[in-house]
Amino acid sequence: MIDKAFVGSKKYWSWVIILLGLIGIGTLAYLYQFENGLGVTGLSRDVTWGFYIAQFTFLVGVAASAVMVVLPYYLHNYKAFGKVTILGEFVAVGAVIMCMTFIFVDMGSPYRILNVFLHPTPHSLMFWDTVSLFGYLVLNAIISMVSLGAERKGIAPPKWIKPIIYISIPWAISIHTVTAFLYSGLAARPFWMTAVLAPRFLASAFAAGPALLCILCLIVRKVSKFDPGDQAIRNLAKIATYGMIVNVFLVLMEVFTAFYSDIPEHLLHFKFLYVGLDGNTTLVPWMWLSAALAVFSLILMINPKTRNNFKTMVVGCIAIFFSLWIDKGLAMVVGGFTPSPLGEVTGYAPTFPELLISIGIYAMGALIVTGLYKVAISVREHKLPAKMVVTEKVASETA
């Protein structure tokens, strides 16, 4: 089955080669960082975690969002998602591997990474995060490969896969909850110490993930004969819209609590992000861009006319994805560090090597997803006619 990833058109191969090139550059940049220490990044005493950990946090959300297609399909028997579940699961696999790599490149002594398993420490949330991420990767790899394999042979998937699928649903919620707990249990960092962090993480995940999946479905439809179906894409867009609405609502809750209570140690972080603090305004334009994109995306996505038109919908999805990427992939982590517990404002911006490493990791994720999608699409294209008819029929009946 995997062999399908190694046959493809010229276009397919040029895309793969571009990704491989970026991975190569990223690897060289990592070797440079490994040799010289994490000092080659923009990180510091005060801003101890930055771009890497922020990407990790954002991508855990993307990974968890697979549950938004798995749950309707397997628990509610929502047939229209029959063709996208595998696409969601494969994105999850790629995203989890990226998460792990981002954690790895952030380690000061990566050659000791096995200490996490040699000395398991249940009172550390990082231990639980490792456990939940690994588990989620295994679950998704098994589920997607087994169901795709069965589909290729034209048989029903084995019965034992059902309980594994059911386990994967709460597990998806758990990976992002535990990731939020990494932050929200720290007395030293008032910006993160909010019970709404985990729900907010989940809401933004269920917006950004399905938005990405919408975009991917439209790409798949364009580059292959496999069509995930209008109805599936439209409903994914609907899920992304609800996720985004809940996320914006929760952000506003945070803003209210910080500003009305007027407690400096909560307020100052928001000030740093939205107006700047002690003359440091690095993130201010990004934050307002994120807010503007959020509003813009909601206008496009709440209105059924623009949401159901694929041309405007894709713009809305890109806006959601990018708005949330700024929020989680740039601001959330750095905002928690500024000001520091001692009240210091230290500037942070990722350096060139840091960005190259990050781009390399994203390219690796893209390569994994590309390869897995290629396999899935080849299997589907191969047995297209019969399957298409059946699913379309069921879909129209459900509708």
Does residue 345 interact with another protein by CB under 8 A? no
CA–CA distances in Å: residue 292 to residues 84, 303, 374 = 30, 17, 35
Using the contact rule CB under 8 A, the part of the chain among 68-76, 153-161, 171-179, 342-350 near another protein is: 342-350
Range 249-255, long-range pairs (CB < 8 A, 24+ positions)? 249/203, 250/196, 250/199, 250/200, 250/203, 251/200, 251/327, 253/196, 254/194, 254/196, 254/200
If one asks whether residue 341 binds another protein (CB under 8 A), the answer comes out as yes
Burial 205-234 (b: 16+ CB within 10 A, else e): bbbbbbbbbbbbbbebbeebebbbbebbbb
Encoded one letter per residue, x for contact with another protein by CB under 8 A and - for no contact, window 85-104 reads ------------------x-
Asked if 296 interacts with another protein (CB under 8 A), we say no
The one among 36, 77, 396, 398 contacting another protein by CB under 8 A:
36
Work out how close the CB of 83 gets to another protein at its nearest, in angstroms, rounded to a whole number: 39
The answer to whether the beta carbons of residues 333 and 57 sit under 8 Å apart is yes
- Applying CB under 8 A, the span of 69-77, 211-219, 314-322, 336-344 interacting with another protein comes to 336-344
Query: Smallest Cα–Cα separation from 376: which of 63, 19, 69, 82?
Result: 82
CA distance 370 to 8: 11
The answer to whether 18 contacts another protein (rule: CB under 8 A) is no
The DSSP bridge partners found for residue 277 are 280
Of 109, 160, 261, 305, the residue at the interface with another protein (CB under 8 A) is 109
Count of residues near another protein by CB under 8 A: 43
What residues are paired with 280 via a beta bridge? 277
Q: Which of 11, 37, 159, 262 binds another protein (CB under 8 A)?
A: 37
Q: Is residue 119 at the binding interface for another protein, with CB under 8 A as the rule?
A: yes
Within residues 144-183, the interface with another protein by CB under 8 A covers 182
The single-letter DSSP state of residue 156 is: P
Nearer CB in complex with another protein: 182/367: 182
| C-alpha–C-alpha distance, residues 358 and 129, integer Å | 21
**Candidate list 39, 158, 170, 304; residue touching another protein; CB under 8 A:** 39
Q: Is 285 in the site for another protein (CB under 8 A)?
A: no
CA distances, 339 to each of 49, 225, 271, 284, 398 (Å): 14, 52, 10, 14, 53
**Residue 195 interacts with another protein (CB under 8 A)?**
no
Selected from 24, 110, 170, 285, the binder of another protein by CB under 8 A is 110
| Part of the chain binding another protein (CB under 8 A), chosen from 246-254, 337-345, 370-378, 391-399 | 337-345
CA distances from 281 to 54, 324, 339, 345, 348 (A): 19, 20, 12, 11, 11
Please choose, from the candidates 58, 330, 85, the residue with its C-alpha nearest in 3D space to the C-alpha of residue 204. 58
Report if residue 11 touches another protein, rule: CB under 8 A. no
In angstroms, give the least distance from the CB of 356 to another protein: 18
Residues forming the site for another protein (CB under 8 A): 36-39, 43-46, 48-49, 103, 106-110, 112-113, 115-116, 118-127, 130, 182, 186-189, 337, 340-344, 346
